[in-house]
Structure 1
């Protein structure tokens, strides 16, 4: 086993790029272990609809990263109180979806700290009925990642705030997260442990469980490759949002000018169909406005740019342009039409 030092990086996009870079480029003659701590962020499962998982308005206001990972499963919240671990080794059909194999040494270390944890359900580590860790896997067919979170001292109120979706009506085939009762490992410890110390205790415990392993520091050339992957993949809107499955959105709200009822179909993150209904009065047909939004990324900034030269009042009367943008893409609580 080789422990790879991430050099204290806390950018989730860089850490996920590092993880994938190791998977695809490092020798398959060795197994690797990686630990990392991320700045406040939501990590989206590979097959999820990002917009269904996040409170977009809250995320933007609080500068929370939103990043899609290569593995499946549900969305999770990371912050400086959460330690992430990743085992990277050769693909083994017996180990794929067998989370017990790689969580067992983690659970043993927790037990040594007085935390009686166990693997329950498909892929969660629990203490009693409280979830303290979620895990996931990804395989290329030759190599695989088995990774998970360890909630040591996470701000659990932020988990609720950041993942509490307020988008009105979305219908999609994305894999929705199942919200579980979660708790911090620190709740079950006799005394406080800083996350850096927790990391070292876990590393020592894992070291004791296996043959002696070495610590590896990436070369400048390898870090260059990691940064390149980050920029080309994990920094992009297309990966983090555009990879979402097809979905339909219905957004309805009554304004002083009348009711607006929008039906929006989004595919690969881009608006493909828009239909505007309502009892408003305007001098121009809304069909031309609908066309302006076709093939625009379903992203508030891109929608705003597309409507910069449009006079919204021509279509709806005295309706503020920002109100229309917020209806097309907003996170406020609004009336839902059935």
Structure 2
């Protein structure tokens, strides 16, 4: 079992966060797990998306909300009071090297963390094509899109994920709904608050006293249970604001 480089939660700008994730996909060699937040708040969009089509650009400009493009696909995410995670590792690490297989294996790690918080979690399973198409009609915000093996709590989405495989390396990152602002997210991503409330649930709604530090400690505990020897990387990210 290789060591896992664990980068504890810290805030960076939207641009720096994406620069760091790209570094771990293209330059890193080991198994990396990172937790981070966004200051100032920002929107990340999938690499094939156009910001004018998925975001309220004028609102973002007026409120100094930066819009950045991810190196992964998926829908738009408003990063306000969320916990973003990133996992990156050599493709050879998992036996099933298909995109679906990688998603499923990573989802098992995330599921372990959520269940350790005593949440009622389920895997949604593989999404049928017609359901995915219907989801695209309902909006292109990440949390409104159905995805394979997404984790549901009380039937609602709690984390949105995106993945990229480049050469012999994998990167998956995602937004965990920690303290979700339904009203402003609806404005920023051109959707409706009621639609988000039907589809999304946040950790703070389920566990009001939970802190980011509490969640991080559960991450560490669960990664150790998977057998990873942890190598803590404090204050040594490749880029800083």
TM-score, normalised to structure 1's length?
0.56
Partner of 1:280: none
**Kindly tell me: are residues 218 and 4 of structure 1, through their superposed partners in 2, closer, same or farther at Cα, counting changes over 3 Å?**
farther
Structure 1 SS opposite 2:161: strand
C-alpha distance after superposition, 1:71-104 (max 9, x if no partner): 011111111x211111111125624233111011
Write the distance in 1 (CA, Å) between the matches of 2:98 and 2:13.
Answer: 29
Partner of 1:281: none
**Kindly tell me: are residues 207 and 45 of structure 1, through their superposed partners in 2, closer, same or farther at Cα, counting changes over 3 Å?**
same
Partner of 1:200: 217
Partner of 2:190: 164
> Is the 8 Å Cα contact of residues 83 and 199 (structure 1) preserved in structure 2?
no
**Kindly tell me: are residues 210 and 192 of structure 1, through their superposed partners in 2, closer, same or farther at Cα, counting changes over 3 Å?**
same
Of 109, 116, 121 in structure 1, the residue corresponding to residue 120 of structure 2 is 116
Structure 1 SS opposite 2:118: coil
Structure 2 SS opposite 1:115: coil
Write the distance in 2 (CA, Å) between the matches of 1:204 and 1:13.
Answer: 30
1:8 equivalent to 2:7? Answer no
Write the distance in 2 (CA, Å) between the matches of 1:51 and 1:206.
Answer: 39
Computed over aligned residues only, the root mean square deviation of the Cα atoms, in angstroms, reads 2.4
1:152 equivalent to 2:178? Answer yes
> Is the 8 Å Cα contact of residues 23 and 88 (structure 1) preserved in structure 2?
yes
Structure 1 SS opposite 2:48: coil
> Is the 8 Å Cα contact of residues 8 and 216 (structure 2) preserved in structure 1?
no
Write the distance in 2 (CA, Å) between the matches of 1:112 and 1:160.
Answer: 30
Partner of 1:188: 206
> Is the 8 Å Cα contact of residues 161 and 173 (structure 2) preserved in structure 1?
yes
1:186 positional shift: 2.1
1:69 positional shift: 0.2
> Is the 8 Å Cα contact of residues 97 and 137 (structure 1) preserved in structure 2?
no
Of 96, 99, 102 in structure 1, the residue corresponding to residue 99 of structure 2 is 96
Structure 1 SS opposite 2:12: coil
1:211 equivalent to 2:215? Answer no
1:204 positional shift: 2.2
Q: Which runs of at least 4 in structure 1 moved beyond 3 Å after TM superposition?
A: none
Write the distance in 2 (CA, Å) between the matches of 1:105 and 1:7.
Answer: 17
Partner of 1:42: 43
**Kindly tell me: are residues 184 and 34 of structure 1, through their superposed partners in 2, closer, same or farther at Cα, counting changes over 3 Å?**
same
Partner of 2:33: 33
1:154 positional shift: 2.2
**Kindly tell me: are residues 156 and 196 of structure 1, through their superposed partners in 2, closer, same or farther at Cα, counting changes over 3 Å?**
farther
What 5-or-longer segments of structure 1 have no aligned partner?
Answer: 166-177, 231-338
Write the distance in 2 (CA, Å) between the matches of 1:41 and 1:95.
Answer: 31
TM-score, normalised to structure 2's length?
0.77
Write the distance in 2 (CA, Å) between the matches of 1:41 and 1:204.
Answer: 29
Of 12, 19, 40 in structure 2, the residue corresponding to residue 17 of structure 1 is 19
Structure 2 SS opposite 1:5: strand
Larger radius of gyration: 1
